[in-house]
């Protein structure tokens, strides 16, 4: 009984840490994109909050963990606002990173994919559905950011975006099924997702894309 309680507490703390870390990474990504579009400070903060919480809110609603953690825990809002202010006032420091939006987006993708999968498993979802929900958690923030900026969501055209999230989530699920330590599977899944995403960006790996077809003339 004590071992089970300790495991549950470790999982709860791990999900919270991953969630907040992912919130910060996606908030930076969203805010940086907003600064590049020359939004005002309110617009940057809205984009920061939406990009950093949409995936987690969607996950919590789907599994019935309501109200969503991002709407009842002040730390999520505080983290997203802090990240937004950092980007707004010190955007030049963020821009010194190579491809800052993509790198921060990859970090958020990995953290949220792992956290979403772990939380889905804790709520009793099947391994397949837990992996899919982990992927959805990971891609949600990027979708929200791109939609608010009137862009085609990166998940529909980027280099192995959702695939990278699904790989990370699958590793977490497999580790869970094999009774591997939670921290080991979380680190393995997160590193796999982040590494695959960054390598895909640098080498231009992507899934087959639809080609434009000419319409027959009348």
- Judge contact between 53 and 30, C-beta under 8 A: no
Of the candidates 65, 48, 195, the residue with the CA atom closest to the CA atom of residue 133? 65
Alpha-carbon dihedral of residues 27, 18, 93, 85, nearest 10 degrees? Answer: 40
Token readout for 160 is 């192995």
Q: pLDDT (tens digit, 9 = 90+) per residue, 56-110?
A: 999 999 999 889 999 999 999 999 999 999 999 988 877 777 677 788 888 999 9
Q: What is the pLDDT of residue 98?
A: 65
Burial of 62 from C-beta contacts in 10 A (0-12 / 13-18 / 19+) = middle
Q: What is the pLDDT of residue 157?
A: 74
Of the candidates 138, 127, 128, 133, the residue with the CA atom closest to the CA atom of residue 63? 133
- Judge contact between 44 and 31, C-beta under 8 A: yes
In the chain, the percentage of residues whose pLDDT exceeds 70 is 90
Q: What is the pLDDT of residue 185?
A: 94
Q: pLDDT (tens digit, 9 = 90+) per residue, 192-217?
A: 999 999 999 888 887 777 666 655 55
């Amino acid at each position: 009984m004590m071992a089970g309680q300790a495991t549950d507490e470790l999982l709860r703390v791990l999900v919270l840490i991953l969630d907040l870390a992912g919130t910060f990474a996606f908030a930076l990504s969203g805010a940086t994109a907003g600064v590049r579009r020359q939004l005002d400070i309110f617009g940057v903060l809205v984009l920061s909050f939406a990009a950093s919480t949409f995936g987690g809110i969607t996950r919590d609603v789907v599994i019935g963990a309501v109200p969503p953690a991002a709407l009842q825990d002040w730390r999520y809002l505080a983290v997203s606002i802090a990240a937004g202010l950092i980007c707004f006032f010190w955007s030049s420091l963020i821009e010194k990173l190579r491809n800052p939006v993509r790198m921060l987006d990859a970090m958020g993708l990995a953290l949220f994919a792992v956290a979403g999968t772990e939380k889905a498993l804790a709520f009793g979802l099947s391994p397949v559905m837990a992996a899919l929900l982990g992927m959805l958690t990971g891609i949600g923030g990027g979708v929200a950011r791109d939609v608010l900026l009137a862009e085609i969501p990166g998940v529909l055209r980027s280099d192995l975006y959702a695939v990278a999230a699904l790989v990370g989530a699958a590793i977490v699920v497999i580790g869970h099924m094999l009774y591997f330590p939670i921290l080991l599977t979380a680190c393995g899944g997160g590193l796999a997702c982040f590494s695959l995403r960054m390598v895909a960006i640098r080498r231009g790996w992507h899934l087959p894309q639809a080609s434009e077809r000419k319409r027959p003339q009348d």
